[in-house]
Amino acid sequence: MKQRLLSLDVLRGITVFGMIVVNNAGGKYSYDSLQHSVWNGLTPCDLVFPFFLFIMGISTYIALRKFQFQPSAAVIRKIVRRTALIFLIGWGIYWFEFACEGDFFPFAHIRILGVLPRIALCYGIVSLLALYVRPKGLAWIAGFLLLGYAFLLHFGNGYAQDAGVNILAVWDTNVLGYEHLYHKSPVDPEGLTSTLSAIAHTIIGFLCGRLIMETKDLNQKIIKLFVAGFLLAAIGFLLVEWLPLNKRVWSPSYALVTCGLAAMLQAALLYFIDAQGRKHWCRFFEVFGVNPLFLYVLSELTAVVLNVTEWKPVLYGGIHSVISNPYLASAVYSLLFVGVMGAIGYPLYKKKIYVKI
């Protein structure tokens, strides 16, 4: 069996661990670092989803490399099938939440896009592009998408917090319908329009995957990836005066900065894990990294059940009765929750069972 890239599994595991933690605060109070920025800005919480898309870009390169990036009916079917499956699972989670509350036909107001649908769109589009476009062409596509999106944000009031004038909110409402959008933000943070920037984001991950896999010398691999990440982050930070960091609109600066940080962290993991052989510390994150989507989906379904059955406030109340600080109690609930997910994933990891989604 082909050996997995351990440092990539670890980074993926760290990311999925973070995604589950930030999505499952116990109480209504949560540390700022475990909350998304309300609008412009960047918190540690804002790193987890873009890191996942970056990693998915690397994984896509590794997966398609086995087929020499040659389009065939079998490869295209595999891409389309996986894209559709991730979409359906995302919609299934939304449906499950409504069904648990007694609404079995919520199709008039179920959310169309979201985390899993965005993952599906980015995976499917980038995978198909990679079969027909050379890497240099992909770099140009990513550049044009970010540049075009920057102009769209600038001239379309893309940073306005008024949904009535923000072009992203206007377009998403007209195309998808207001009832099918996320309503706790001026714009849908996984809206259709901002997916353009997320696609460019995934392409950058794909190109970094090429750098990792095609550079033979390990030290050169680490240096090149770290330098590429530093340049991406530096360019992104230079742009923030004109294009603020904003996860809600997935601004070009946000895409560049988070891709750069992810690349530098991946380079650091390559150094410590692959070059230095320091592997014992990372086993916990490897558990999440080998079955990322399975454990993420399981966490979302579990969270729905705990909310609907009202077990969540009971469990949090028990923690809060011991830990008086509501912020700390909420964080402890999150860590215990993700610990349970890890306990479920550990037997799969030990038996080398990888749930493919």
Q: Tens digit of pLDDT for each residue in 12-55? A: 999 999 999 999 988 888 888 888 898 999 999 999 999 999 99
Considering the chain, what is the average pLDDT of its residues?
A: 93
Q: Say yes or no: 77 and 179 in one domain.
A: yes
Q: Do 306 and 238 fall into the same domain? A: no
Angle at 10 between CA 7 and CA 14, to 5 degrees: 140
Domain shared by 214 and 317, yes or no: no
The dihedral over CA atoms of 144, 148, 150, 152, expressed in degrees to the nearest 10, equals -170
Arithmetic mean of pLDDT, 255-280 = 93
The token duo for 263 is 């690349």
Lowest mean pLDDT among 29-38, 245-254, 259-268: 29-38
Residue-wise pLDDT tens digits, 52-67: 999 999 999 999 999 9
Dump pLDDT digits (tens) for 109-143. Answer: 899 999 999 999 999 999 999 999 999 999 999 99
Q: The domain containing residue 307 runs over which residues?
A: 1-35+279-357
Q: Is it the case that residue 5 has pLDDT exceeding 80?
A: no
Tokens of 148: 């075009």
Indicate whether 185 pLDDT > 70. yes
Residues 84 and 170 in one domain: yes
Give yes or no: residues 231 and 116 share one domain: yes
Which residue among 278, 311, 342 closes a domain? 278
Domain boundary (278, 300, 315) is at 278
The distance in angstroms from the start CA to the end CA of the chain is: 19
Last residue within a domain, chosen from 263, 278, 293: 278
Supply the pLDDT for residue 26. 86
- % of the chain exceeding 90 in pLDDT: 83
Q: So what's the pLDDT on residue 274?
A: 86
State whether 150 and 58 are in the same domain. yes
Alpha helices in the chain (DSSP H): 6-23, 48-65, 73-100, 115-132, 135-155, 167-176, 195-214, 218-238, 252-269, 283-290, 292-308, 311-322, 326-350
Q: What are the tens digits of pLDDT across the range 60-113? A: 999 999 999 999 999 999 999 999 999 999 999 999 999 988 889 998 889 999
Do 72 and 6 belong together in one domain? no
At residue 4 the predicted structure's pLDDT band, cuts being 50, 70 and 90, is low
Residue 3, pLDDT score: 52
Separation CA 39–CA 185 (nearest Å): 9
The pLDDT value given to residue 250 = 97
Looking at the structure, tell me whether residues 158 and 296 fall in a common domain.
Answer: no
User: Domain check: are 201 and 288 in the same one?
Assistant: no
Q: Are 44 and 193 found together in one domain?
A: yes
Domain count, the chain: 2
Specify whether 232 is located in the same domain as 340.
Answer: no
Q: Is the pLDDT of residue 357 over 90?
A: no
253 and 135 inside one domain: yes
